[in-house]
Amino acid sequence: MRDTDKLRQECSFGERCYRKNPHHFKEYKHSHLNALLLKHPDFEVATDTGIGLSNLREQLKIYLDIENLIKRTTQAENNQEQRDGPDNTEPRNSVVGLSEVDDDSDHAGSRKRSRSPSEDERNKRKKSES
């Protein structure tokens, strides 16, 4: 069973599901269709599940397309994670919003330090109010 199968619930209608909307197949598992595809990869099912053979065959085609899409997407995501590795989980710039500004303190030998923009705004307001 694939990881994506664990994330999707089984369709509550089971073999009686007649839907053909691809979104439905993305959202819900259909184990009976998977079993039928393993037995009949050519879609030539001879036993009706109660929705009509032509509907069932159409469902199998749609289901297979969706499953292949999910499989390719999952593989691409896994490949990307492997390329990135665990070291690339940190944000690229961990000091976003900080800037080098002059320290306006009364200390001799003024030096530069990092300060957030909001701190700069507060200092400017204090100066303008004085």
34-91 pLDDT, tens per residue? Answer: 999 999 999 999 988 899 999 999 999 999 999 999 999 999 999 988 888 765 554 4
- Judge residue 43's burial from the number of C-beta atoms within 10 Å of its C-beta, 0-12 exposed, 13-18 middle, 19 or more buried: middle
Facing residues of 115 across strands? 99
Arithmetic mean of pLDDT, 18-31? 94
